[in-house]
Amino acid sequence: MSRTLISPLIKSMFHYGRHKSVQPRLLSTFKKFCSYSRSNIERLDILKKVYSPLLIHKEGTQEWSKLIKSVKVWEDYFRPFEWRAQDYYFQAEYANFLKAIDGLKASSRISSVDILKRLTVDFAQHSCAIEGNTLKLAETQKVWNTLKKNFSLNDFLKNIDTPLPAPSSLFDKPENKVIELSLEVPALMKRFIQFRDESQNSGLHSLIIASRILLTFLHIHPFADGNGHVGRSIMVLYLIRNGLLPVVVQDIPREEYTSTLFLAQAEKDSIPLYALVVQNIFNILMRYQA
């Protein structure tokens, strides 16, 4: 199979969960080399299945370009922009839990704005901790206080439309280089926004929708690194816009969190992440009940 057919979208998937720690630059032992080789073979086998419809056309022809730009090859195989029976099954099974969350949100004597202010540092610290950052909560609070003291949001907004200097390259470090085909990414991001907006009519709870928004973004992000922070921020934005609190993954081992992502992306089993998010939000609301 041609190397140019290896999509960055699949690269993103296999850098999350159990594959993310296997990087070429870390291959200092033969054992690690063998582990990387096995995962790469596994990845290439899936790629052959995903992109088999392209192989009937010669690369670079009009038919080939039209098919790859349509994103139908990747989308038809993984089907990330559709709701599944398991999503509605989870909502039915957790109906009382979700109802309790809505009740706690409505009865809280502390406003959502005040809770959100208290959770800002928590979210930043735990989001970074998932990525391996060792800063403690007190240290994160100190950084946050320094930022608030020395930087004005108004100044940032005034300069938000200022053109940035032209980059010397499209990546700043090796793991952010898109080696493989990127033609699918723009069309997939349009489908992602469409999926997010149409999900309002799915009949599903906002917590379930927010979780799938995170999973879908991670699934199509073209880089091997950096998708976690952005994905969780997109998820939090959706939650806040729908009157909910940000998810702060506390006391959860990194391996457990990333395993839920891998199960959802590779096995199409989103229930473990749904359960993690629902339990997390419930615990936060219980903590802030006055």
Task: Return binding residues.
Answer: 225-232
Q: How many CB atoms lie within 10 A of CB 151?
A: 10
Q: So what's the pLDDT on residue 93?
A: 95
Q: Tell me how crowded residue 275 is: count the other CB atoms within 10 A of its CB.
A: 16
The residue type found at 10 is I
pLDDT at 26: 40
Among candidate residues 15, 19, 205, 221, the one labeled active-site is 221
> How far, in Å, CA of 176 to CA of 170, rounded?
8
Q: What share of the chain is helix, strand, coil (3-state, %, to 5)?
A: 70, 0, 30
pLDDT on residue 225 = 59
Query: Interhelix angle for 206-220 vs 184-198, to 10°?
Result: 180
* Token pair of 182 as six digits: 């990127």
The Cβ of residue 82 has, within 10 Å, a number of other Cβ atoms equal to 9
* Start and end residues for every CATH 1.10.3290.10 domain found in the chain: 85-287
CA torsion through residues 122, 128, 134, 139, sign: negative
Rounded to an integer, what distance in angstroms lies between the CA atom of residue 161 and that of residue 9?
A: 29
Reading the block at residue 20, the tokens are 């993310």
Q: How far is CA 104 from CA 93, 148, 245, 273, in A?
A: 19, 31, 12, 21
Q: Which of 241, 201, 234 is nearest to 215 (CA)?
A: 234
CB-based contact 35:237 (threshold 8 Å): no
Burial 185-198 (b: 16+ CB within 10 A, else e): bebbeebbeebbee
> Cα separation of 206 and 214, whole Å?
12
> Residue 99 has what pLDDT?
93
**pLDDT at position 37, please?**
62
User: Which residues contribute to the annotated binding site for ATP?
Assistant: 225-232
CATH fold for the domain made of 85-287: Fic-like fold (1.10.3290)
Chain centroid to Cα 126, Å, comes to: 15
Q: What is the dihedral of CA 38, 252, 227, 26, to 10 degrees?
A: -40
251, two tokens: 């006391």
Task: Round to whole Å and give the CA distance between 109 and 112.
Answer: 9
pLDDT for residue 87: 96
- 221 in active site: yes
Report the pLDDT value the prediction gives residue 236, as an integer from 0 to 100. 84
The gap from C-alpha 5 to its chain's centroid, in whole angstroms, comes to 23
The whole-model pTM stands at: 0.69
- What pLDDT does 181 receive? 53
- Give the pLDDT of residue 135: 58
pLDDT in tens, the chain (290 residues): 444 444 444 444 444 444 444 444 444 444 544 555 666 676 677 777 877 888 888 888 888 888 877 778 888 888 889 999 999 999 999 999 999 999 888 776 666 666 666 666 565 655 665 556 655 656 656 666 666 666 676 776 777 777 766 555 555 555 555 544 566 778 888 899 999 999 999 999 999 999 999 999 888 876 655 577 788 888 888 988 888 877 766 656 677 877 888 888 778 899 999 998 898 888 878 877 75
Q: Is the dihedral of CA 238, 280, 205, 290 positive or negative?
A: negative
Which residue's entry shows tokens 């870390």? 26
